[in-house]
Amino acid sequence: MYRTHLDDYAKQFESFLRLRREDGILEARLHTDDGPLRWNLEVHRGLIPAMAAINDDPENECLILTGTGDAFLAEFDRPGWKRHGFHEPFTSYHGYDIFYKDQTREPFALLNLQIPVIAAINGPSIVHAELALLNDIVLASENTHFYEGHWDGLGIVPGDGVHTLFRELLGPNRGRYFLLMGQRMGAHEARDLGLVGEVLPSDQLLDRAWEIARTVFMSKNRIQRRLTRSLLIQPWRELFTRELFSGMAHESLACYDYWPMSDEPGYDIGDLVKRDPSTTTPAQ
Residues belonging to the active site: 130
Strand pairing category for 38-39 and 17-22: unpaired
Q: Give the ranges where the chain is alpha helix by DSSP (H).
A: 6-12, 41-55, 78-83, 92, 101-103, 106-111, 130-133, 162-170, 172-181, 187-192, 202-212, 222-257, 260-263, 271-274
Total number of residues shown for the chain = 284
Query: Do residues 174 and 156 touch, judged by C-beta distance below 8 A?
Result: no
DSSP letter string over 111-123? Answer: HT-SS-EEEEE-S
Rounded CA separation 120/65 (Å):
6
Rounded CA separation 211/208 (Å):
5
Rounded CA separation 99/107 (Å):
13
Rounded CA separation 72/65 (Å):
10
